[in-house]
Amino acid sequence: MVFSYKGGELYCEDVPVSKIADAVGTPFYLYSYSALIDGIKAYLRPLSRIGGIVCYAVKANSNLAVLRTLFREGAGADIVSGGELFRAVRAGVDVKKVVFAGVGKTEEEMAYALRMGILMFNVESVQELEVLDKVAQAEGKKAPVAVRVNPDVDPQTHPYISTGLKESKFGIDVDEALDVYMMASKMEGIEVVGIHCHIGSQITKLSPFVDAVDRVIELVDRLKDKGIGLKYMDIGGGIGIRYKDEEPPTPEQLIDAVADRVKSRGLTLIMEPGRSVVGNAGLFVTRVLYVKKKQNKTFYVVDGAMNDLARPALYNAYHEIVPVKERGGSVVADVVGPVCETGDFLAKGRELPEIERGDLLAVMSAGAYGFAMSSNYNSRPRVCEVLVKGDQFFVVRERERYEDLVRGESIPTFLLEV
C-alpha cells in the first residue's frame, strides 16, 4: 500500500506525511506517483491487448504533473473544455488520443480543438452538431464526430453523478440517435467516426455497463444497415473506487465483459477513466485548529474546508479520515472547517480517535474531484499540491497567496475619487 503506517506514523510511499506538512504547511493535497502509475496501467494493459485507447478524464484531477505522469505511460485525454485541452497539451498529450465531451462546447473551443487535430468530438445535441459543422467548414476541416447516446440505463449511483437516464442533460436518446447520425452523415464539415455513451460515475457493478453497451451495439448494427460504418466505440468511464466498503469491478473485468461485443463489430474500444485512476492515489491533509465540545457533541475544527474538498458537502460523500500519527481512544465527532456554512464539513457523526489541537488528519481517497473542484469561497487561498515518488516529494502546485485572490480585479477610477 502506498499509504500506510510505519512506526505509528502515516507514510506516502517512503515519506512521512508529517514531514511534508512541516515543509509546506496545511492544508494540502498529496499524490502518490506509484499509485498513479498502477491506476493507469490497470486500463492500459487490458486495453492494449485489444488495440483499445485510454482517454483519462482530465476533470477528475487536472494537475500538470499528474497529467504528465499518465500521458507518459500512453494515456490520452477526455476533455470537457478548452482549458482542459490547453492543460493536456501543456502536459504533453498525444492529441490523436483526445476526445472532447460536454454539453456546452463554444465555437472558440471547437475551433481550438480542430486546429489541434483531436481524435473526435463527442456531440450531445443537434444544435451542437450544426454549430460544429459550421465551425469546421470555416476552419477548412472536417470535424471527426461520435454522437453521445443516452441508453437510459440506471447506473445505480448518486443521482448527481448519474448521466445515462432519459431525464439527464447529457447525450441524445438512443431512440432518436439514428436520425441524428443520418443528418450528420450529410454535413460537409462532419465526419462520422464513432459512438459514445457514459452512464455515470462511481458505479460499482458490471451490469449497468454491459446493459448500456448492449443497447448501443443495437444502434451500431442499425447504423451499419443504413450504410454508416463506425471506427470507435467510446463507453466512457465511471468505474467506482473503494471509499468505505464498496467492491467495484476491476478495469480488466469490465473490459473482458464488453470486449467481444465491441470487437465483433470491428470497433476500437475507448474508455475514459478518471476517479478509478487517481481517486485512491491522493490524500487531503489538514490540521486540527480546535477541539470544541458542545453538550454531548464533539467537533474537530480543522483548517481544511468545503472550498478545498467539496464532495462531503456536495454529495454527502464519505471519505475515511485517519490521524497522521496514530492515536488511541474513541469519540464520535464532526470534522468541520472554518467556512461560514453549516454544510462545511468533512465528516459527520464519525467515530474517530481522541484528537488534540495541532494534530494532522488525512482525508483518504481524495485524489479525484478534490483540488479540481476547489474554490476561493470565503476568500480562502487554494491549497498546494504535492507529488511523492519514492523517498522524495515535489510541490507541483504552489499554495496561493492573498495577492492571488485579487489578481485580475480592479477598482474603477470613479470609486477612488474622494
The predicted model scores a pTM of 0.94
Q: How far apart are CA 27 and CA 384, in angstroms?
A: 8
Q: How far apart are CA 382 and CA 151, in angstroms?
A: 38
Q: Tell me how many degrees the CA angle 55-61-67 measures, rounded to the nearest 5.
A: 60
- Would you state the pLDDT for residue 167? 53
Give per-residue pLDDT as tens, 228-241.
Answer: 999 999 999 889 99
Give per-residue pLDDT as tens, 389-402.
Answer: 999 999 999 999 99
Looking at domain 102-271, which CATH architecture does it have?
Alpha-Beta Barrel (3.20)
Q: How far apart are CA 157 and CA 238, in angstroms?
A: 10
| Candidate list 12, 55, 197, 340, residue with the active-site label | 340
**Is 197 assigned a catalytic role?**
no
Residue 240: CB atoms within 10 A of its CB come to 21
Same CATH fold, 102-271 and 3-31+279-405?
no
Asked whether the predicted pLDDT for residue 165 surpasses 60, the reply is no
* Cβ proximity of 42 and 75 under 8 Å: no
- Largest separation between any pair of C-alpha atoms in the chain: 76
415: left (phi over 0), alpha (psi -120 to 50) or beta: alpha
Residue 409: CB atoms within 10 A of its CB come to 6
CATH: 3.40.1110.10, 3.40.50.800, 1.10.490.10, 2.40.37.10. Which one for 3-31+279-405? 2.40.37.10
Task: Enumerate the domain spans of the chain.
Answer: 3-31+279-405, 102-271
**DSSP labels, 122-141:** EE-SHHHHHHHHHHHHHHT-
State percent of the chain over pLDDT 70.
96
- Would you state the pLDDT for residue 199? 86
Pick from 99, 41, 45, 52: nearest CA to 259: 52
Asked whether the predicted pLDDT for residue 209 surpasses 70, the reply is yes
